[in-house]
Amino acid sequence: MKSCTSRECIVVCDIGATKTLAALYELQEDGLLALCAKQSYLTYNIADPYEQILQFVKQYKEPNARLYGVGVGYPGPVDEEELVQNANVPWSINRRMMTDRLSPRSYLLNDAAAFAMSLRFALDCDFYLLSSPKAKKRTTGNRGVLTVGSATGMSGTVTTDDGQEMFYSTEGGHGWFTPRNAVHIALWNHLRNEAPSEPVRWGRLLSGPGLVRIWNFFESNPKILTEFINQHHDSLLQRERPSIITNNILTAENQNKPEVISLYGLQGDLVCAATLALFAELIGMKLGELALSTWCTGGLYLAGGIPLKIRDMLDPFLMKAFLDTSTYYRSALINMPVQLVVNDEIVLRDLANYVLQHTRTSN
């Protein structure tokens, strides 16, 4: 990594429950931004987010360069006046504290909303098309974003009457999971019995911990596993299952279990492959709900580390579930492009552009 050598620079952070990405951009003479440095941190190792950002700035910014502004994407609801707290992140953050400790030009956004905002600057190479190539790519129309990682995030953009694109954030990941078939009903009951006082919400399924819950569900329900495999026999790789795989998953650290399950699932282990298939199916269901609720003729975007790692297992489970969301509007769903975000830098890049544009507007 190189240090910032220009007169002004912008620092941005994309905070996740597991990983936090920080980046420093130079403001060049032509007014454009250039990535100068990027660093990844384990979120649970960060004791003080403000101090961590200051240390990053100290490491990569030259003494004669001015910190133009700071932008942060946070995995939870954002309020400029109140402290923002998320159960998946060990500390809270707010814009007022950012302004006091980091820079007068500090901006705080919901992380899923930051993804939605970044779509206007994205390139075709930033995405992988999951839907049929026949789906209509449009430059206008509402767009929906679903992020799946350590937690579930939802956001999107809406097109106004004058053609402007406005982004929004939601906490739709906290909505209740609605089963579609017998396997889903059994899964719902499993989660309900696991934690009777907890709502069976989407975030308990479409996340790293959710992947582990689905694996536990199949492990403890062999008849349901057989039923699911029979439904998807042609799409699931069936191989002899070494018993050491179960032991490896059970003995793995909690934060590593989703990665271990994903690895074995991609290699063809029966239970793990079924877990990934059902996980992809549930993603498709949620994308379908998002498509109908905000009428995403501009397309849908799936982001997050887990979908990217299991990309080879998303097809055909995700798209089938997506298209089955509505028989009445199936033809409309077919025409909505569904794309996987493969470049996590688009969020960092647009957070920097957001800081730059809003600072110029306020001056």
Per-residue pLDDT tens over the stretch 329-357: 999 999 999 999 998 788 898 889 888 88
Phi (first) and psi of residue 135, to 5 degrees: -60, 140
Across 158-172, 201-215, 323-337, least confident range: 158-172
Given a cut of 60, whether residue 255 has pLDDT beyond it is: yes
Distance, CA of 90 to CA of 56 (rounded, Å): 19
What fold, for 173-341? Answer: Hexokinase; domain 1 (3.40.367)
Same fold, 8-119+344-362 and 173-341: no
Q: How confident is the model at residue 6 (pLDDT cuts 50, 70, 90)?
A: low
**Which residue has tokens 């992809």?**
280
Domain ranges of the chain: 8-119+344-362, 173-341
Per-residue pLDDT tens over the stretch 58-102: 898 887 888 889 999 888 777 655 556 666 787 878 888 888 989
- Tell me the mean pLDDT in the region 37-59: 91
Distance, CA of 33 to CA of 350 (rounded, Å): 10
Given a cut of 90, whether residue 274 has pLDDT beyond it is: yes
pTM score of the predicted model: 0.87
Task: Strand 8-15: give its sheet, edge to edge.
Answer: 33-42, 19-27, 8-15, 66-74, 106-110
- Return the top range by mean pLDDT from 108-117, 227-236, 282-291: 282-291
Phi (first) and psi of residue 68, to 5 degrees: -70, -35
Given a cut of 90, whether residue 232 has pLDDT beyond it is: no
The listed CATH number (1.10.760.10, 3.30.420.40, 3.10.20.30, 1.25.40.10) that belongs to domain 8-119+344-362? 3.30.420.40
